[in-house]
Amino acid sequence: MPKPGLSPTSSTGILPGMPSTALPSVWVAQVESQLLDEEKVLTWLETDLDTQLYFSAGLVVVTNKRLLATAEKDLTWQGWPYRPGLTLARYDHAGIGSIELLDEDSLLAAWHYTLGSSAAAGRLVEQFTQQLNYRLTGEQPPPPAQARCPKCQRVLDVPLLPGEEECAACREESQIPPSTWTLFRLWRFAKPYKLRLLTGFLLTLGSTAAAMVPPYMTMPLMDNVLIPYQNGKPIDVDLVVFYLTGLLGAAILAWMLSWTRTYMLALVSERIGADLRTAAYEHLLKLSHAYFGGKRTGDLMARIGSETDRLNMFLSLHLLDFATDVLMIGMTVVILVSIDPWLAVVTLVPLPIIGWLIHMVRDRLRTGFEKVDRAWAEVTSVLADTIPGVRVVKAFAQEKREATRFRAANERNREVNDRVNKVWSLFTPTVTLLTEIGLLVVWIFGIWQVSRDEITVGVLTAFLAYISRFYMRLDSMSRIVSFTQKAAAGTKRIFEILDHVSSVPEPAHPAHLPVVEGRIQLCDVGFRYGTRSVTRDININIEPGEMVGLVGHSGSGKSTIVNLICRFYDVTEGAILLDGVDIRTLPVAEYRKHIGLVLQEPFLFFGTIAENIAYGKPDANREEIVAAARAAHAHEFILRLTHGYDSLVGERGQALSGGERQRISIARALLIDPRILILDEATSSVDTTTEKEIQKALENLVRGRTTIAIAHRLSTLRDANRLIVLDRGSIVEVGNHAELMGREGHYYRLYQAQARNVDIEGDLRRPEVERKVEEGRE
């Protein structure tokens, strides 16, 4: 039995309103043995890293009297009663969180955890602080802030766990099958063509009405021509010509109206589909990098490509057929009732059963087709991963592995389709059977009426002709259910893109800079990616024309700062200013036109060399392109190619070497003449000889521009005006090369490590808290 201190009903000495949290079962016995009288556990954190950052379990517990902690290795418990001067601090960086217990003089203890425990760590620090304050002063804490879902803003009873982006209600809503009403959202794209759609509807009405004439003409042909002839009367030729002319005229009119309607609505549907595809693609380009980080290329391609094609087919063919079927059925019912109400009632007997079947099958089909779409997106994602990376696949001899991965995705796609086909294959023949039974019932009832002279043979013949069309259209409508649910699923997936709000929004009231000098200021900048803190308290002031180098080990935050300056992401704390103006108030495209970016792995589009150089300035003439290539030291190797500037570079520049691609990238940046230049590891992936060529090109590029450079080889930054050294997301040193070497700090160790060609990253990344712990123990 646990002590009263572990009982959820025990409240002695507990902060009012403070909830009790159940411990993991593996720790209950150990915690029991440590609790004092009337001591109760308030909250806890299960750590999973030791002081050397190796995986190891531990437990930190906040009670109503003190802080308790132990580690799996030695199971020795330590306790710190609440007293003045105690502080519990929490921070995280690069996927590792830390909690420090300090007093006025030293660090008493530190614990580490992976960010999966971030929420528990936050609760631990919060409750420790509140309990400490309550125990020392008796002051009641403020009511806790209401946790809200970031997606729907609902108030949550329990805060979201790390990695969760939406509440349970949002997750349930996302799993709800797409409603057929989703298709009405397409009206936004159909509205510009409403006059054509109205004309198409009127043509459909006319063609359907014309198609209803021939069955009606069979009544007088039977009753006034054929049956009298069988009874010995001569055929009235003029009357036959009149009826047949009417049949021919109705058929020709129906054909003309139907052709015009089909062609006009097909044009409209293609335009709606094209507008939808364009809108989805344009919106996709406006979304931030954070959106693309959580999506697969194949899935996005499937949504914009195959889903819009499916909608085109639905709008141009199946929706038109559905409208025709509805009109045909409606008109047929009216004509049948006008001819003979009782026979019409018998005709409509199977209709409720078919309607019930459609209702039962619709939801299953809708869910099934959405799963089919996702399974197919997975197949295309495997292709999108493998085909661009085929060199890596072959280099590591992983053809069988990738084939197995594709086979598994293809198999899942087949299984999902099989489940949908199982439902659909039973539904369609069942509807056909019901229509045949309905036709049989009409025959029986009609013959009975003819035998009692209640209707003529001509009436029954016309009835059967109308009923055949009625049931044919009913069967066609039931088949359209499948296409409707496919279209609804596709519409939902497309609008998931269109409804997504970019995390880098356009300003509501944009400011404009007529002249850009290039002064960049980072003021108390912090950035979090989800629950992970990447950078914090960054303060940098870069003057126009100054070259600044960012230095630090991998994961120190260099590329993050570059991404924030480019506004690929928005800062979560502080602000970035361009010439004294917050970049979030500038139009995104207008701001980025002043930035030239040269990446570690330059991306070239399929096309000619000239087209790639002129990518940022499509209207550039050949003289400007050649001048940029000369400045980038690319002109000579371009002329050696078969077609010079008109040579195709292949997909992603496969026809060129790494150094050649990089120089094309530099020429591309030169051509737009940016005020701000960002070099992100521009020479790290090339050999020494190629690096020298690129360095010559970069000298031309940086001249007179505000330049921010990241370089793996520190020797390439020796000419920078200033070097900013980063470690774990914070600035630790600032100065030029000579100054930093003289201090023998982080930069000195990095430089010496490269000179000796050794890796001291582990020493550089030794957590500061470890040294503090050792000092505190001493």
Is the Cβ–Cβ distance between 473 and 328 less than 8 Å?
Answer: yes
Strands 155-156 and 520-529: what pairing?
unpaired
- Whole-prediction pTM value? 0.61
Which position has the token pair 């990238």?
665
User: pLDDT, tens digit, for every residue of 713-736?
Assistant: 776 777 788 888 888 788 888 888
DSSP type of residue 716: G
- Which range is least confidently modeled, 383-387, 445-449, 698-702? 698-702
Q: Are 713 and 682 in contact (CB under 8 A)?
A: no
Q: Which two tokens stand for residue 722?
A: 């200033």
Instruction: Summarize pLDDT for 42-65 with one digit per residue, the tens.
Output: 888 888 888 877 888 889 999 888
Give me 546's structure tokens. Answer: 């100054």
Spatial contact of 53 and 112, defined as CB atoms under 8 Å apart: yes
β-bridge pairing 78-81 and 722-727: unpaired
Q: Half-sphere exposure of 416 toward its Cβ, with a 13 Å CA cutoff?
A: 21
Residue 734 has φ and ψ, to the nearest 5°, of: -140, 135
Give the count of beta carbons closer than 10 Å to the beta carbon of residue 159.
17
Residue type for position 200: G
Position with higher pLDDT, 640 vs 230? 640
Sequence-ordered list of residues with C-beta below 8 angstroms from that of 200, at least 6 positions apart, any chain: 261, 264, 265, 268, 320
Q: Max CA-CA distance within the chain?
A: 128
Cα–Cα dist 495/631, whole Å = 45
Residue 1 pLDDT greater than 60, yes or no: no
Q: Which two tokens stand for residue 707?
A: 């330049």
Distance CA(732)–CA(560), nearest Å, equals: 16
**Whole-number pLDDT of residue 73:** 60
Token code pair at residue 487 = 């279209």
Radius of gyration over every alpha carbon of the chain, rounded to an integer in angstroms: 37
Termini Cα distance of the chain: 40
Whether 430 has a pLDDT exceeding 50, the answer reads yes
Inform me whether the pLDDT recorded for 763 exceeds 50.
no
Contact 382, 405 (CB under 8 A): yes
In the sheet that 520-529 helps form, which strands lie side by side, from edge to edge? 532-542, 520-529, 573-578, 581-582
Strand-pair category, 595-598 with 676-680:
parallel
Is residue 322 scored above 80 in pLDDT? Answer: no
pLDDT digits (tens, 9 = 90+) for 94-115: 567 888 898 888 888 888 888 7
pLDDT (tens digit per residue) in 575-592: 999 988 999 998 888 888
At 725, is the secondary structure helix, strand, or coil?
strand
The kind and range of the H/E element at 281 are helix 237-286
Regarding predicted confidence, which is higher, 589 or 427? 589
The DSSP code sequence of 206-262 is HHHHHHTHHHHHHHHIIIIIIHHHHTTPPP-HHHHHHHHHHHHHHHHHHHHHHHHHH
Give the CA distances from residue 509 to residues 304, 505, 568, 587, in Å, rounded to whole numbers and listed in that order: 31, 12, 20, 9
Residue 570: closest CA among 501, 498, 672: 501
**What whole-number distance in Å separates Cα of residue 271 and Cα of residue 461?**
44
Residue 510 scores a pLDDT above 60: yes
> What is the residue whose two structure tokens read 């792995």?
601
Provide the phi-psi class of 702: left if phi over 0, else alpha when psi is between -120 and 50, else beta. Answer: alpha
pLDDT digits (tens, 9 = 90+) for 695-707: 766 776 677 788 8
Task: Identify the residue whose tokens are 């507008």.
Answer: 275
Contacts of 226 by beta carbon, 8 Å cutoff, 6+ apart: none
Report helix, strand or coil for 717: helix
Cα(683)–Cα(660) distance, rounded to whole angstroms? 12
| Phi/psi of residue 113, nearest 5 degrees | -155, 155
Q: What angle do CA 572, 574, 576 make, to 5 degrees?
A: 100
Q: What is the pLDDT of residue 176?
A: 52
> What band does 687 get if pLDDT is binned at 50, 70 and 90?
low
Fill in the DSSP letter of residue 648.
Answer: B
Q: Which residues contact 473 (CB under 8 A, 6 or more apart)?
A: 324, 325, 328, 329, 332
According to the model, what pLDDT value does residue 171 have? 55
* pLDDT of amino acid 766: 41
- Work out the angle between the directed axes of helices 457-498 and 399-451 (0-180°, nearest 10): 150
Q: How far apart are CA 112 and CA 98, in angstroms?
A: 4
Instruction: List the beta bridge partners of residue 538.
Output: 525
* Confidence at residue 577, expressed as pLDDT on a 0 to 100 scale: 92
Q: Which of 60, 12, 18, 9 is nearest to 36 (CA)?
A: 12
Parallel, antiparallel or unpaired: strands 676-680 and 706-710: parallel
**Residue 455 pLDDT > 50:** yes
DSSP label at residue 608: B
Please give the DSSP secondary-structure letter assigned to residue 184: G
List the one residue out of 715, 712, 746, 745 whose CA is nearest residue 728. 746
Contacts of 215 (CB under 8 A, 6+ apart): 462, 465, 466, 469
What pLDDT does 94 receive?
59
Residue with tokens 């949504």: 303
The whole-angstrom separation of Cα 717 and Cα 174 is: 50
* Contact partners, residue 74, CB within 8 Å, separation at least 6: none
